[in-house]
Every structure is written in C-alpha cells, then in structure tokens.
Amino acid sequence: MRRLWLSLALAAAVITLVGPVVAALAYSRTPPRYASHTTMGGGAGYGTAGMMNRAGMMGSVWLAGDGTRVTSIAAARAGAATAASPAGLHPGEVIWFDNGFYVELEDAAGNPATEVLVDPYSGAVGTEPGPAMMWNARYGMHRTTADGAVAVSADQARRTADAWLAANRPGRHAEPADAYPGYYTLETPNGRGTVDGMLSVNATTGQVWYHTWHGRFIAKEDM
C-alpha cells in the first residue's frame, strides 16, 4: 500500500512539472495574431481586416444607429449630416463600399475635417478606424490645439503614396490628396477609373496607412 501511495505521489509530481512545459510548447506553435504592418519611408502603416465586423466597425460614435438598414448614398448622407451637425460639420464626398459607407466631413468653409463610416446594418455613424481616429489632430483620439506640424506637403504625400502603391498594389496610383488635420487621404482608382481603395499619409512623419476595411466599390457621390 505504501508503495502505491508513493507511486501516485510521484505521478502527480511529474504531471505538475510537465504540464506547464506542454502548455508552453502548444502556445509557441499557435502564437496570437497581430495586425499586419508595412513600412514606407521610415513609417509603418497598419491595417486590420477585422475592424469591419459589426461589433467593432468604428471608433468614437457620432450617432447611434436605430437598426434601420442603410441602402443608398442619400440615406448615408442624411445620417452623416445629422451626426455631424452638432460639431458644425457637413458631409462632402460619400463612397458606398460593400462593407459600408465612407463619408468625408467638411467644415463650414468646405475644408476636409475628418472621416466617418456609416454602418449599413444599423445606421450608426462613427469615426473611421485608422488615420481619422489616430492621426486627426482636431477630431481624433490625440487631438491638440493645433493641427500638428506639417512636414509633408500634399504633393510629397502623393509621391509617397504612389511609391507605396508601386511596391504593394502594382498598377494602382494615387489621386490628389485631401488634407485633413495632421494627415492626408488619397483615393486609389483602378484601371477602369473607379475607386479601388484609399490610403493615408501622416503629414508629420510620412507614414502610410492603407485602408483595408472598405471592401468592393459600389458607387460614389461628391457634393
């Protein structure tokens, strides 16, 4: 009987010692997933496809959705207008992608102010993830009293964007840049002239951030 108890105690000790080692090996074979990034001109541009799921589609919410599906540019523009009005802003360009609606918000003078998304499933309006959330010096998470140091001109931003596209999206080119507080956003048309995607360039560092979350282009309206 004594030998039996000693054997059981020894087996328990081995399990206690070996268990963490096995768990560590299993963890090392299935590491956690991180957002991908690319480097251009000394800066990193980050993109996470998972940002466009319904639960985490947007950053700060400008207007809560009521569950009504948004199925047209006109409806997306109306929702964005309601959301932006308290801040003294209004929608300019609206682009309909199959993952949702992208809306450029402008100030009273017609200057680009920030970028928002309209959720097609609920009608919610919120700050676009990425540059509008992290780089916008006036409406983003790291807002300042000024619009940030502008070391990169609009022309330089376009050249930087074209170089990034040549390396990462061959056959694409950047349209003229829209200047937001602290960064630029540039559309990237395909060979047929429709919007294939867009990217942003930080006005201080020259970092490139490609917008990976929009999906397929459907229609566009600029007012």
Same domain? For 151 and 213 the reply is yes
Number of domains in the chain: 2
Residue 65 contacts residue 55 (beta carbons within 8 Å): no
Same domain? For 127 and 169 the reply is yes
The answer for residues whose C-beta is within 8 angstroms of residue 36's C-beta and 6 or more apart is 46, 47, 48
Phi, psi of 70 (to 5 degrees): -105, 115
Residue 63 contacts residue 122 (beta carbons within 8 Å): no
What's the average model confidence in pLDDT over 191-206?
92
Find the range with the poorest average confidence among 58-62, 63-67, 127-131, 137-141: 58-62
Same domain? For 123 and 200 the reply is yes
pLDDT at residue 137 is higher than 70: yes
Q: What's the pTM value of the predicted model, to 2 decimals? A: 0.75
The answer for residues whose C-beta is within 8 angstroms of residue 50's C-beta and 6 or more apart is 56
Same domain? For 10 and 46 the reply is no
**How many CA atoms within 13 Å lie on the side-chain side of 133?**
17
Same domain? For 174 and 214 the reply is yes
- What does the pLDDT look like over 70-108, one tens digit per residue? 999 999 999 999 999 999 999 999 999 999 999 999 999
Q: Which domain holds residue 1?
A: 1-32
From CA 35, how far away is CA 13, in angstroms rounded?
A: 40
Same domain? For 154 and 212 the reply is yes
Same domain? For 6 and 22 the reply is yes
Same domain? For 13 and 81 the reply is no
Same domain? For 46 and 147 the reply is yes
Nearest CA-CA partner of 221 in 109, 57, 66, 80: 80
